[in-house]
Amino acid sequence: MDFDRAISQNLFDRAQQMSREAHRGRTEAGFGPPPSSSSGMIVRPMVSAPVNPPDGLARGMSPQGGVHAMTSGIDVNRVASQISVAFQTTRQHINQRNDTATGEATVLDFRRIASGLPPERRPSAVSIPFGVPSEGKVPSEKETLKPSQGDMNRFAEMKEHLMSVGEIASAYNTPINPEDLTTSPGLSKEDAERLLALHGRNALKPPPEPSKIWIYMTKLMDPFHILLMGAGVLCFVAYAFKTEEIMNLIVGIILFIIAILGATIAFFQDLKAKSMMSSFAGMMASKSQVRRDGKAQQVEADEIVPGDVCVVKMGDKVPADIRVIHCSNVKVDNSALTGEAEPQTRGPTSKQKNVLEAENMLWSGTMVLEGDAVGICIGTGDKTLIGEIANLTAGNKPKETTIGKELRLFVIRITIIAILLGVICLVLGITLNPAIDWQGALLIAISITVANIPQGLPSTVTTCLQIVAQRLATENVFVKQLQTVETLGCVTVIASDKTGTLTQNRMTVTHIWFDSKIQVCDALMAAESGVADMTTPSGSKVLDILTHCSRADFDRSEDAAPGTILGDATEAGILRYCQGTHDALAARQEYPKIFEVPFNSRNKWQLSIHKAPILPQGGGAGEGAGAANGNGSTPPPPAANGEKESAGAGVPPAPAAAGFSSASAGYGAAVLFLKGAPERVVDMCGTVLDNGVAKPKDESFNERFTRAYETLAGKGCRVLGLGYLPMDEAALRGLGDLEQLNADKLREGLLAQGKLVFGGLVALMDPPKVEVPAAVGACRTAGVQVVMVTGDHPLTAQSIAKQIGIIDLHAEDVNERQAGASSGTPLRVNSQMGGKVCRTRVVDRDWEPTGVETPFDPATGGAFGDCEALVIHGEALNKFREEHWASALVKTQLVFARTSPQQKLAIVERMQLAGHTVAVTGDGVNDAPALKQANVGCAMGQMGTDVAKEAAAIIVMDDSFSSIVTGIKEGRTVFDNLKKSMVYTLMHLSAEILPVLLNVLAGMPLGLSPILILFVDLATDMVPAIMLAYEGSEANVMDRPPRNANSDRLVTLPAFIWSYFTGGMIAAVFALGMYFWTFESYLGLSASELVTAAHKYFLEDGGKLDTDPDACMNNGDTCSASTDNGMFRPAVAGRDHDYDFQMYCKGDNNLCIPPSTQLDVLHIVQASWFTVIVATQTFNWYSSRTRRESIFKLNFFGNPRLLAGGLFSLMFLVIMVYIPGIQEVFNTGDVKLQWVFGVAGGITVVVVSEILRALRRQNEHGFASRWLFW
C-alpha cells in the first residue's frame, strides 16, 4: 500500500507533539516567578522599524511559520536520506568554520547579508565587529529579498547563538529593554503585519498531494492486476475472432472485475489508513505569547514573525526557532530530536560553536518542561530546523517491499511460462493440426495462456496479508502497509533506538550509595545483590534528602492521570521512588519548605531549607546547633507532629509497611538539604554520614567515594551527591532575611565553610523495559541481531545493552581500553568466562584510524578483530573507512552511541549494502530518517512522536519490543503460508493445461471447459488457499535463521518443479486416466480412436455438416440406434433434429453416436475432470499445511477455517455436477465412479509429499529436498 502520500498530511503539525501525553510523568514543576514589570530605558535598534532577519546570519532563515500552525502534507521520505545534514554534517561544518571568540574580537561575514539589506545598510568591508550598530532605514518589500530555500547547511553558518543580546536585537530590528528584557516592547502591530504579508504565515508549505484518481490508478497498475487485465484482453480478442463463443467474453469480463475489485479494495484500505493516522494527532495549542507594542499578547501561532519577542513557559510547545535572551530555570525536552531522556537546561548565553548544541536556542516543536523564557524569533515555518527537515523530505520514491519484489518476480515468471506455452501451442496447432486454421490456433493459444494464469491468486495474497495484519492488530501491532508484514519475517538485523524503545523513557532510581555500600533500588536490577534498606539511620536521612530537596510534585488536578508528576525527568524519578518507599508527601508537610535555590547549570546543585516541627523541650535545638557546626551526631527523634493531610487525588498510596518519617530524624529548628553534582556536593561537606553518625572525611572515604562514583557512572547512570545540614535557631537566624538570600551568598558563605554532612549518592537511569531482555534473547534464537543505535552517552548505552542482552552481561568491564592509552594500544583483558576471553571494545570519540586503508580480511576480523563486542561513538564513525565499517558490521554484539540522524541513516544503509534486511525501531524525530530508510520501520505508538509514526510502516501500539518479535514470527509465518497457498494454487495448472494440449496437438475432445477452469481458480481452490493463511507457525519458525530475501524466493524453482511436474502431474495423470476410462466405458472408444476425433465430433456446435446429410457412416454400414448400455437417448435414423449435426460412426461394430450423445458424454468427462482436480486438491490442501513435519502429527482440527474452506469446495463441486438446473447452464453431467480417480490422486499426493518431507528431515540439503519439494 502506498502510504508515502498519506504521510504528508499534518506531518509536522504532529511533529510539534514530540512529548506525548505519556510523558506527563516527567514534565513541569511550578511556574517561575512572573517577570518584573519595572520600567527601564527602552533600547531600540538604529533603524526605524523591523527588518527581515539578515540572510547571512541565518543563511536564509526567515519568518515562514512555526510548528504550532496546522499544516498539511509533508512527506517524511526524504527525511530518511537528508535530515542528517541538519545534525552531524553541520556540526562538522560549524567546527571548521567558527573559529570561536566573542565580543569585538569576533567578526561576522556580512557579504551574504547584503542581498537582503538596502544599499545604505550594506557593508563596505568584508566584515564588521560585533557590537557595532548599523544605521539606516527599514527596507521596503521591493528592496528586501526573500531568503532562498537553501538547505540544512545554512545552520552551519548561523551565528545568532554567539551574538550578544544587543547584537541579536539589532540584527533582527527588535526593540528591547536591556534593563528588564521581560518588558521589552517588541515589534509594533504594523511591523508584524508587514512582515507577515511579506513572508507568509508561520506554516509549513505542503507538497502537492496526488488526486484520488491518481492513487486509484497506481493501485490498478499493480503487476497482478496488469496480468489479469492482460488475460482479459486476450479473452476479448478471442471473442472478437469467434463471437459465438460467448464464454470468452464472460471470462474476460470476470478477469477485469477481479482486477478492478482488487484495486478498489487496496484504494479504500489506503484511505482508511490515512484516516487512522490522522487520528493519532491530538489537539495542539494554536496560540502563543509574544510582546508587541510594549505589552504581552496572545496571538495565533501562525502569525509569529522573525523579530518577535516570544514568551514561553512551562508546558508550552516552542512555536518557532527562538534565540533566548532571558530565562528562569528553563529545561526543555529535546528527547525526540536527540534521544536523550534527560531534560536540557537553557540559558541566555552559549559557548558552543555548533548552533544545534547551543544552550541559548529553543527549537521549534520542543517542549518547555520547566521555567519560563523570553527570546527573539529567528526562524519560522519552512526556515525552522524542523521546517528544513520537512523541505528535505519531499520527492523520494517508496521502496519496494520484499513480498512486493517476490510477487513482481512471480508475475514475470508466470507470464513468461504462460506466453511460452501459448506460443508453443500456436505453432504446433498450425503445423500439426490441419483442421485448425491460424485463427483457431490463435484462439487455442489464448486459451492456454489464460489457463496458465492463476486468476484467484491476487485475491488470495491480499486476503492472506490482511488476515495476518488483523491478527497482529490483536497483538498491538498496527500495520500501515500490508506487504511489510512479510518483510518482518526476513529481517536479519533490528537497529533499535534506546530511549522509549528498549527503555521506559522514564528516569528511575536504580542505586543508592551510603554507609560505603552500593544498594539496589530497582526491581530490574534483581541480578545484583543487595536491596536498599532505607529504614536504617543512614538510609532514613538519605531518603529525607531525596524527599524534601525536590521541586517535583504530583499533579492533583481532576483530569490528571494517577501518578502523573509535575517536574523534570530526574526529579520525577526521585519522587516516584520516595513515594514508593514511604509517604513522601506527608513527610514534606512535617518539614515545610521555607527557602530554595533551584538547580542551574552554573551552580550544578539544588538547595532547600525546611522548617522543622516543634521539638521536645530541652533537647534538639542545642544538638541541632552542634550538628550545624559539624561536631557530631544528630539528636534522637522527636515525637510525631499531629495528623498528616490526605495526599489528594492523583497521588499513588504510600506502602503500608513504611513505619518511619522525617520527624524521626531530629534535625533541629531547621534543616538544609542539598543535592547536585557529586564532586561539588562532597567539597561542601566536612563530615560523612556513617551508620547514622556524622564522621570527619578522610582519605579512606575519598577513595571509597571515588570508586563508588566511577562504578555508578560506569553503569551509565546519572549520579547525584546528597548532603544535609541540621540547623538550630541561631544558625537559621545567621542566614539573615531569607527573601534577600540567594545562591551567591550561600556559595560564598555557609556552603564554603564545609559544615555539611555528606549523605551518599543516588544513581538514576532510564531503565530497560521488563520484557526487552527476553525479546532480545528470542531474536538471537531466531538468528536476528539486535543492534542499539542511540543518541545517548556510550556508557549509558553500553550499560543498557548489557542489561538486555545485546552485549554479553559477563563481558562487563573486560574490554576497556587502558586509561591514557592511544587508539592503537591493545585492549586489556580483565577476566575470562568459561575459558573464553570475553572482550568489549569502546571506540570512543578520540579514536583515530591507524595506518593506510587495507581491504577487510574476514579471517582476522579487520580493524576490530580483537574483540567480540563493539561500542562505537558517533564522532568515531565520522573517521571510519571501508575496512572499519566492514570490521564493525560483522560483530554480533554492536552498539552505536551519540549518533546523529545522519549517522543512524548511514548505519542502516551500510547494513543494507552488506546484505541485511533491516528493521528499525524508534520513537523520535531523530529516528525518522532511519525508520524511512529501513526495510521495515517500527514506531512506538504511545511514546512515539507523530513524525516517527508517519515515517514507519508498522506502529507498535503498546510500545513493547516483544511485540516486534511477535511481528517477526508472524512475518515468517505469513511467508510460509503464502508459499503454501501459492504452491497449492499452482498444483492444479498442469491438470488444467493438459486437456487443452491434448485437444490442440492430438485433436482429442476437450476434457475441461473454460468455465470450469475459471471455477477452479476462483472458487474451489481460492477459498482453501485463503484459509491456509490461518495456519499456525511451523514448529521451527523461530529456531531457524531468517530467509535470504535475495535468494529464498516465494516460488522457487523446486516449487515450480513440484507444482508443474512432481506433484502437479499427479492430478493430471489421474485425470487423464479418468478421461480414457470414461470414453471407453461409456462409448467403447479407445484412446487411439479419440485422436483427431475432436476435428469433427464432440464439439459444442455439433461439428461440421457432411456433404451428404443422409450418410450415416463413411463406410455405408448400418447404424445401431444406441450404445449397448442404453444410457443415452436413442438416435433416430433419417432426418430429425439431431441429424443436422455430425454423427460419430464406428464401422467395426456398427456403432453410431449421435451428436446429443457425444455432448452428454463430453459434459460428463469435463465434469469428471473437474471432480478429479477438486478431489485431488482436497487432499492437497491438507498436505500443504506443513513443509517439514509429518501431517499425521498435526491436529486435524487445528485450522477449522481450512476445514470449512475444504468443505465449501466439495459442496461447490456437488452443486456443479449434480444439480439438474446447474448442469444445463454450465454443461456438466453426473459423475459416478470417476470419483475413484480423484481420491486415488489425492492419496498419491499425500504419500509422495510425506516421502519427500521425511527425506527433508533426514537431509535438509539432499537432492529431494533441494529439487523435488518446495
Pairing of strands 869-873, 840-843: parallel
Q: Go through the chain and tell me how many residues it has.
A: 1270
State the Cα–Cα distance between residues 819 and 871, nearest whole angstrom: 17
Kindly report the number of other CB atoms within 10 A of residue 905's CB atom: 28
On the CB side of 267, CA atoms within 13 Å amount to: 17
State the Cα–Cα distance between residues 1255 and 837, nearest whole angstrom: 41
Strand partners, 843: 872
Q: 367: helix, coil or strand?
A: strand
Crossing angle for the helix pair 223-241 and 402-432, to the nearest 10 degrees:
20
- Grid cell 575470562 in the structure block, residue: 832
Strand partners, 368: 332
User: Are 754 and 461 within 8 A, CB to CB?
Assistant: no
Strand partners, 896: 789, 872
* CA diameter of the chain: 145
Task: Determine whether 697 is exposed, middle or buried from the number of CB atoms within 10 Å of its CB (0-12, 13-18, 19+).
Answer: middle
- Active-site annotation holder among 180, 302, 497, 1021: 497
How would you label 749-767 residue by residue, b for 16+ Cβ within 10 Å and e otherwise?
ebbeeebbbbbbbbbbbbb
State the Cα–Cα distance between residues 474 and 481, nearest whole angstrom: 16
User: Could you please report the per-residue DSSP string of 649-660?
Assistant: TTPPPPPTT---
Helices (H), 382-436: 385-391, 402-432
State the Cα–Cα distance between residues 409 and 732, nearest whole angstrom: 83
Sign of the alpha-carbon torsion through 490, 495, 499, 503: positive
How would you label 422-440 residue by residue, b for 16+ Cβ within 10 Å and e otherwise?
beebbebbbeebeebeeeb
User: Are 450 and 231 within 8 A, CB to CB?
Assistant: yes
State the Cα–Cα distance between residues 1028 and 349, nearest whole angstrom: 65
State the Cα–Cα distance between residues 788 and 790, nearest whole angstrom: 6
Choose among 88, 134, 127, 129: nearest CA to 109. Answer: 127
User: Are 725 and 628 within 8 A, CB to CB?
Assistant: yes
Phi, psi of 60 (to 5 degrees): 105, 0
State the Cα–Cα distance between residues 1050 and 1053, nearest whole angstrom: 10
Choose among 1036, 973, 970, 974: nearest CA to 475. Answer: 970
The C-alpha cell that represents 993 in the structure block: 493445461
Alpha-carbon Rg of the chain, whole angstroms?
40
What 8-state DSSP symbol labels residue 567? Answer: S
Pairing of strands 493-496, 918-922: parallel
Is 497 designated active site?
yes
Pairing of strands 785-789, 593-597: unpaired
- Grid cell 492482460 in the structure block, residue: 230
- Grid cell 530590528 in the structure block, residue: 173
State the Cα–Cα distance between residues 1099 and 1090, nearest whole angstrom: 13
Instruction: Count the helices and strands in the chain (H runs, E runs).
Output: 42, 33
Catalytic amino acids? 497
